Amino acid sequence: MRKTKLGAVLAALLLSACGSPQQNTNAISLSGAFALYPLTVKWAEEYKKTHPDVKIDVSAGGAGKGITDVLNGVTDIGLVSRSLTQAELQKGAVVIPVTRDAVVPTISAANPLLKDIEIKGVTKDGFYGVFISGAIKTWGQLGFSGQDPVHVYTRSDAAGAAETWAAYLGKKQDDLKGTAVFGDPGLAQAVQKDPGGIGFNNIAFVYDPQTKQLVAGVVPLPIDQNGNGKIDPEEAVYGTLDQITAAIAAGKYPSPPARDLYFVTKGVPNAVAKDFIKFALTEGQKDVAGSGYILLTQDKINEGLKKIQ
């Protein structure tokens, strides 16, 4: 009997030491989408300037991990870059939009057809043939010279970027073909190293938020939205981070793959997490544009604030 009671006490102490997000009222834990990770880290740094006693742990791992973690009580807030399913909402997920960005198709800067690709772009049907049906296997089939093979890359993790890119093509992430790579950084690196590669990335991994220029080795593959075989001036929105974010804000870039990004909680968050979310939706919005994201409309900000009241 004594052993049983002692075991129960030790188990309780162990659980207390490990703690759940709700038990440590002076800490916030967040995990999930690579797309939202850089801005969330910035918000955490700014929040701690006025709340130095609050511990904030932010980790990336994909939108799927973010949703799983928050719904299982592992974290306070999930970072999510796609719409939630009805099943996830039924489990108590509360969805709070905090900013906006986009997924862009990418190729290697070492692609020998780069100049021609930037002039002509690729149509939605062309992307469908590459990523979904698999009917397009060479750059020649996309309307460029030569018959070099197209090497397709996708995400191996449950990713908002993959789900959003698939949604643009009318499908789900599981329908995307290609060599599966983990995470935004991994996918960008795979395309960067392969002159024949094609993939997709969140803009935070294609542009440098400090210089506003493209990161070395990876370039966006322009979308020929009207299908006329060339990138018109209004479609040429990829040169700098400021150009692409302005195009997303103005609705000149298709949605999807433009999308809102979300904080997700399970039910009403604790007081500290609630205060951090409020900060992100108010004072934190001043960091959005400088970090390479797009401001929400005031209506969406108000919608988010209502959800945490």
Neighbours of 244 (CB within 10 A): 25
Over residues 253-277, the pLDDT tens digits come to 999 999 999 999 999 999 999 999 9
3-state secondary structure of 30: strand
Residue 55 within a domain? yes
Q: Distance between CA 297 and CA 295 in Å, rounded?
A: 7
Domain housing 174: 102-250
Q: Distance between CA 294 and CA 292 in Å, rounded?
A: 7
Residue 25's pLDDT is 67
Residue 148 shares a structural domain with residue 71: no
Residue 138 within a domain? yes
The candidate with the shortest Cα–Cα distance to 139, out of 179, 112, 166, is 112
Residue 233 shares a structural domain with residue 154: yes
Q: How do beta strands 93-108 and 179-181 pair?
A: unpaired
Over residues 92-134, the pLDDT tens digits come to 999 999 999 999 999 999 999 999 999 999 999 999 999 999 9
Residue 144 within a domain? yes
The count of domains in the chain is 2
Residue 115 shares a structural domain with residue 96: no
**pLDDT confidence bin for 20, thresholds 50/70/90:** very low
User: Which helix (DSSP H) or strand (DSSP E) does residue 69 occupy?
Assistant: helix 63-71
CB proximity list for 76: less than 8 A, separation 6 or greater: 21, 22, 28, 29, 30, 70, 265, 269, 270, 272, 273
Residue 8 within a domain? no
Mean pLDDT of the chain: 91
Over residues 170-220, the pLDDT tens digits come to 999 999 999 999 999 999 999 999 999 999 999 999 999 999 999 999 999
The CATH number assigned to the domain holding 204 equals 3.40.190.10
Residue 195 shares a structural domain with residue 172: yes
Residue 17 within a domain? no
Q: Distance between CA 152 and CA 273 in Å, rounded?
A: 40
- Residue 133 is given by DSSP the state I
Among candidate residues 204, 224, 250, the one where a domain is terminated: 250
Residue 121 shares a structural domain with residue 209: yes
Q: Distance between CA 83 and CA 63 in Å, rounded?
A: 10
Q: What is the pTM of this model?
A: 0.86
Over residues 23-49, the pLDDT tens digits come to 446 999 999 999 999 999 999 999 999
Strands of the chain (E only): list them. 27-32, 55-60, 77-80, 93-108, 151-155, 179-181, 197-202, 218-220, 258-266
